[in-house]
Chains A and B, each alone.
Chain A
Amino acid sequence: MILVEPTPSVVPIGNRALIARERAQAARAVLADCHLCAHHCGVNRLAGEQGLCHAGAEAKVFSAQLEVGDEMELLPTFAIALSGCDLRCSFCITGAESWNPRAGEPLCLVTLAARANAAVKNGAQTVMILGGEPTIHLPSVLEIVAALPPSLRLIWKTNAHGTALARNWLEGLFDLWLADYKFGNNHCAERLASVPRYQEVVRENLVWASHHSELIVRHLLMPGHVDCCWEPIARWLAAELPAVKVSLRSGFWPGWRAAIHPELTRSFSLTELRSAWTIARNYGLRLVE
C-alpha cells in the first residue's frame, strides 16, 4: 500500500497577516451567537452571556515563553497560552488557568509580537498558540496571527473539539496542527471531561486537519486507560489516518482534580507504557518523539 501525505493548503507567506486581519474583524461578530466549539452554546459573549467555557469577548494570556517540552520537531517553540477551555478534563495539567478564562494578563498584540520576535532571535523555530483551548478565543487568535511576522512557522495546539465554523476561520493560517485525541470512547470522555459526542467531533476535525495542514495527533496515556482509550484510538488512526504522525505522551501526572477518579490517582506505569508501545507497533503507527 502506498501512503501519500495530503498536500496542506497553507496560504502564501505574504498573505497570512492580511487574511488573518480580515478574518479577525469578521470573526468577532461570531461571538454574538457563539458556535466556535462543539458544545454549540449559542450565547452572546459580546453581551456578557457565558457558555460552558465561561469565556468573555476578550482573551487573556496566562503564559508566553520559550519552551522545549513539546514534540522535538517543533522545538524550541515560543508558546502563547490563552486561558479558558471548552472541556472540563479533571486531570488537566493547567487546570487553574484552563478552567478560568480570566486567568492571566490581557492580550497586548504589540508586546506579544515583540516577545515572539525576541524568542526567534533567541532560537525559537516555531510559535505555538495553545490554551486551555485557543479555539474559544478565535477572534483574538486571528489578531495574534495578524500581528506576528508572516514568515514564522505557526503551530496550532488544540483539543480538536472545534466546529466547522472555527475550522473555516483557521484554514491555511497554521503550518501544523498539534491535535489531542484524548479518549478512545465516549463514555470515558463524558466521565473524565464532561464532553458528549467526543468521538464524532474529534474524528471529523482530525480528518479535516490531515487534509488542510501538517498534523501531529497527540495522545496522553492515562493510567488504566490503555485498553479502553489508547487501543481504539490507535486502531482508528491506523485505519483512517495511517500516514499521520502520532505523539504518544507518557508524562501523566495526577494533578488538578484527577483524584476524583480512582484510576487517575497514580502516574502511568512502565508495564502500561510497554503495552501502549506494543499497540502502536502492532498497528504500524508513525510515532514521533
Chain B
Amino acid sequence: MTELLIQADGTVFAHNLTPALAELLSTLNPSDEMMKQRACAIKPQSSDELPART
C-alpha cells in the first residue's frame, strides 16, 4: 500500500511506492522523468530466472 501526501501547491509525496502508483503518478505528470523510470522499473522475469547475486 502506498501512502500519498498531496500538498496545497500540488506537490505529491509518495511513500512505499508500488509499481501501480508509480505508473499512475507518471501518467499524471509525464514530465517527471524520475517517476517514469520508477514506473518502468518493473520487468517480469521468466519463470526459471532469478536475479543473480554478484
Instruction: Write the residues of chain A forming the contact surface with B, with a CB cutoff of 8 angstroms.
Output: 10, 13, 63, 65-69, 72, 75-76, 79, 93-94, 120-126, 149, 151-153, 175, 251, 253, 255, 267, 289
B50 in the interface, Cβ–Cβ < 8 Å?
Answer: yes
Chain B residues lying within 8 Å of A151, measured Cβ to Cβ, are 50-53
Contact B11 A72 (CB under 8 A): no
Instruction: Select which of A68, A125, A152, A175 is within 8 A of B17 by beta carbon.
Output: A68
In the assembled complex, the CB of A196 is this many whole angstroms from the nearest CB of chain B, namely 28
Chain B residues lying within 8 Å of A13, measured Cβ to Cβ, are 53
Q: Chain A residue with minimal CB distance to B37?
A: A72
Contact A66 B18 (CB under 8 A): yes
Q: Chain A residue with minimal CB distance to B15?
A: A93
Instruction: Write the residues of chain B forming the contact surface with A, with a CB cutoff of 8 angstroms.
Output: 1-3, 5, 7, 11, 13-19, 22, 34, 37-39, 41-45, 47, 50-54
Chain B binding site: helix, strand, loop or mixed by DSSP? loop
Instruction: Select which of B13, B19, B44 is within 8 A of A253 by beta carbon.
Output: B13
Q: Chain A residue with minimal CB distance to B9?
A: A267
Contact A120 B53 (CB under 8 A): no
Chain B residues lying within 8 Å of A75, measured Cβ to Cβ, are 38, 41
Interface CB pairs A-B, < 8 A, 13 = A63-B16, A65-B1, A65-B18, A68-B41, A69-B16, A122-B44, A126-B51, A151-B50, A151-B51, A153-B53, A251-B13, A253-B5, A289-B34
| A251 and B2 alpha carbons, distance in the complex (Å) | 14
Other A-B pairs, 6, CB within 8 Å; known A69-B14, A72-B37, A175-B54: A67-B19, A68-B17, A69-B16, A75-B38, A94-B15, A152-B53
In the assembled complex, the CB of A8 is this many whole angstroms from the nearest CB of chain B, namely 11
Contact B18 A175 (CB under 8 A): no
Chain B residues lying within 8 Å of A255, measured Cβ to Cβ, are 5
Interface centre among A13, A67, A94, A122 (most CB of B within 10 A): A67
Chain A residues lying within 8 Å of B19, measured Cβ to Cβ, are 66-68, 76, 123
Chain B residues lying within 8 Å of A121, measured Cβ to Cβ, are 44-45, 47
| A121 and B1 alpha carbons, distance in the complex (Å) | 20
Chain B residues lying within 8 Å of A68, measured Cβ to Cβ, are 17-19, 22, 38-39, 41-42
| A149 and B34 alpha carbons, distance in the complex (Å) | 31
Contact A123 B44 (CB under 8 A): yes
Instruction: Select which of B5, B50, B54 is within 8 A of A120 by beta carbon.
Output: B50
| A163 and B2 alpha carbons, distance in the complex (Å) | 32
Contact B15 A10 (CB under 8 A): no
Chain A residues lying within 8 Å of B2, measured Cβ to Cβ, are 69
| A68 and B5 alpha carbons, distance in the complex (Å) | 17
Contact A123 B43 (CB under 8 A): yes
